[in-house]
């Protein structure tokens, strides 16, 4: 049981640590998600194809879950 608890705790802590490696993107419209325009302001080399890979819901916005998955997958790196 201890291993499961420690593993769960390590996974819980890993999210914020991974997110620190990502570039700072400003949520300029304050809606809690990032549009292509907001992301390219911080990452000028971001292509529409990579944005589409990050935006797994295909709604034109990147939410926190998509952001974290993109960081973990290496789609977003420190710049």
Question: Two tokens at 62?
Answer: 């990147």
**What is the predicted pLDDT for the residue at 46?**
95
2-73 under CATH 1.10.238, yes or no: yes
**What is the predicted pLDDT for the residue at 77?**
74
pTM value? 0.69
**What is the predicted pLDDT for the residue at 10?**
39
**What is the predicted pLDDT for the residue at 22?**
55
Domain boundaries, the chain: 2-73
Which residues, in sequence order, are CB contacts of 64 under 8 Å at separation 6+? 32
Which residue, among 39, 34, 37, has the nearest Cα to 61 in the 3D structure?
A: 34
pLDDT in tens, 18-63: 445 556 899 999 999 999 999 999 999 999 999 999 999 999 999 9
């Amino acid at each position: 049981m201890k291993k499961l608890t420690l593993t769960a705790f390590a996974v819980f802590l890993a999210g914020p640590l991974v997110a620190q490696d990502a570039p700072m993107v400003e949520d300029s419209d304050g809606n809690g998600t990032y549009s292509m325009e907001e992301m390219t302001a911080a990452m000028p080399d971001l292509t529409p194809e990579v944005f589409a890979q990050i935006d797994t819901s295909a709604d034109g916005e990147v939410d926190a879950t998509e952001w974290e998955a993109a960081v973990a997958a290496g789609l977003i790196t420190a710049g």
